[in-house]
A and B are shown apart, each in its own frame.
Chain A
């Protein structure tokens, strides 16, 4: 066999291997979703969504967990949004190129890499103990807000960076102050990117389990929370609880709850991606 043919053969073999690897990831994703749907889909009905937890698998529902997740979603968003976007604006528009800014950047990149369970330990000591919030929704929301802050900051900066400086220059040349320029020009021009980042970050928060367990969210909460200071559970913890039981009926419950959790996650991701595409199409510099 000539050398060229040998090389060609290796080349084609690797191509096939590449296709297999790429499909492998997607096939696994397919199996995962198919398996969960197969086990859990029939379990989902209105009762499952509106029932309180129970020791009997067939009676148990996800109402408290779902409400907990909704509470967490809104409180985390309310806390993280202004802080994250504010910090992103500051880093991109005000404190650029100083040593201090450089340090902040390193710090944020490090925070993004801290395991989520460590944030749980932070929340446990600071919010639960020092601020005396106990294992409440508020303590959980603060913890998750800190966790997703780096994601929001980074995506905010990217979105702001994409705004051409000609727009800012034009505004400043008209005599607008720095903040007026940001508020009236830069932010509106980049809001799509900013919101995409925020939605993705919050969808990440909804899937988090470990930090909330550490903060003291409970596996069993008899009633849906009615104020930020209430005890709570969330969907992933409810799933974890059911997965940990040996009986098959609980595994079915877990699969059913996973379907709903995945629906929420995919929906948020879908909205984010849709938003991003729309925004990118609309604004062509």
Chain B
């Protein structure tokens, strides 16, 4: 009898721990909505979505989110432009070409890239990559999207390479054999059989990498600048959503002011982007999970 009650208490406690995850989600959405609604009482949603300038901290205030969105998209595109070809090639190389021992030791080594704190990458982008790029292209500004994007791309290589390699690894060995048995080279087998068969896993890895790049903060805050600008020119300073939130947080903006609320309006924009991407990847994963038994 006593154990029965004891068991019930323990189960209730475990349930409570689990419910924290729900509370976290409710909290995130609630907080973002609460402050954003207050924000939209003062700034029209039309201006927020269509104004081409973002200058909440100046006397001439504009509240158009587009420059921050374009900065975010720009750095993300550059990052994916680096991470996708490199990551996928690495995945294919490790799975199809490299000796077995290689795969076992290189995968964890590459994963070190993802374990390094992002502030370190920011330092690297600003003090190594930017000067290097400037030596090739002297007109590059000291803060720019290019260098931040490239370094961010390097950071997310393991997301693409590791998860894609997992997906390739999960393709039944018999398919590989069938293709080799027909006289296909490893290259042909990779791109005609393996990659199509692993496509859902590869797509998921890329979506997760994109989502990670969109939410990445310190690299862009350090190396990309703090100038919201509606441009896709990678050589000039820009500002991303995340960098703006950091910029405001570093300053002394009073709680409850309009400037304070802008970081929540920016935050909810960011949240919506990543939420959509994560939902998409989850959905793809579930849908294609049982393709091979």
Contact = CB atoms under 8 A, between A and B. Distances in A.
Query: Is chain B in direct contact with chain A in the complex (CB below 8 A)?
Result: yes
B10 A179 contact: yes
A25 B86 contact: yes
A149 interface: yes
B275 A110 contact: yes
A82 B17 contact: yes
19 contacts: A10-B187, A15-B93, A15-B186, A25-B86, A25-B154, A26-B110, A86-B18, A90-B18, A104-B18, A115-B215, A117-B245, A121-B263, A150-B21, A204-B115, A209-B218, A240-B222, A243-B127, A251-B127, A261-B120
Interface string A1-30: 000100110110011011101101110110
Contacts of A207: 115-119
Interface residues of A, number: 86
Contacts of A31: 128
A29 B113 contact: yes
A219 B119 CA distance: 14
Given A90-B14, A114-B28, A109 B282 contact: yes
Contacts of A4: 183
A240 B218 contact: yes
Interface residues of B, number: 87
Interface of B: 3, 6-7, 10-11, 13-18, 20-22, 24-25, 27-28, 31-32, 34-35, 85-86, 89-90, 92-94, 97-98, 106, 108-110, 112-113, 115-124, 126-128, 154, 157-158, 161, 183, 185-188, 190, 208, 211, 214-218, 221-222, 242, 245-246, 249-250, 255, 263-264, 267, 270-271, 274-275, 277-279, 281-282
A255 B123 contact: yes
A91 interface: yes
A9 to B, nearest CB: 10
Contact of A110 (B16, B108, B119, B282): B282
Given A7-B188, A115-B217, 13 more contacts: A10-B185, A22-B110, A32-B120, A82-B17, A86-B17, A111-B25, A117-B217, A117-B245, A121-B263, A122-B31, A129-B255, A214-B263, A240-B221
A183 to B, nearest CB: 9
Contacts of A227: none
